[in-house]
Structure 1
Amino acid sequence: MHTMVLRGAVLANTDISSQMKTGFDQFIEKSGIDQGSIGTLLKVIGGAVLLICVGLLVLRKWAPNTQIGQSIQQGVGGAALVAVIAGLVVGVLLIAPKTVGGFLVQVGGKFAGFVLDILAKIFNFSY
């Protein structure tokens, strides 16, 4: 555990990210998601999701006059394109859950630590 020092003020403990990563790694190992038949099935599903999303992006780029290309290009507020990008992230997460999931958990942990640092300074507590 360590503390952050900013302009002489010690912020709250910032070890949340590594604790979340450790917990996620233990979950992946004990659940068997990364290995065996479940891992293989998830990799196949992730590959299919990636192929569909990349295919939709290719249609958007090289066949924008088709009905699918237009719906992705002119989706409601860009929601269709956001859904395709979210599908890409999910596909990669299904293929490599330990690597990509660990990264996403650490990013979420950094954000949670940042919010808790602010709350710790406002309400004068330590965690």
Structure 2
Amino acid sequence: MARRSPWARRVTAEDAPTSVTLVETGESVELVAIPGKPGEVMLRTELEQALADRDAADAYDRHTTAIEEFEQLDRARALWRPPCHDDLRFVTDSLPIADRIELQDICLTRCRIRGQCDAYARRARPSSGTWAGRSYLP
């Protein structure tokens, strides 16, 4: 459970201040509404840090899950060699539409590990290439 900031408090829209003066320093700081929590305000700096921390945690979770998905894909590739194995078009940044359609067809009709490939690509969000029939463009 997330610890609530000592500066977070429930207020109504009419009595919500836009700033407060810190007793310790005499500094005037801005208050902002907390997204998704109607009637609650927080110091802007603390809210910005909390949002940055949440974004970093989400990115870490996505990265960790992508590694797990890649390990599953790698195990599947060890058991069966996919049609993309020696075809450099699958890792090329830019391809003509005809090639992208051909690669999509190969993935959808001839690949037995497309599920693992798709799971990895959805988590990792690759910057380019063709994964499970889906083109990722830079």
Give yes or no for TM over 0.5.
no
Bigger Rg, which one:
2
Higher strand proportion (structure 1 or 2): 2
Higher helix proportion (structure 1 or 2): 1
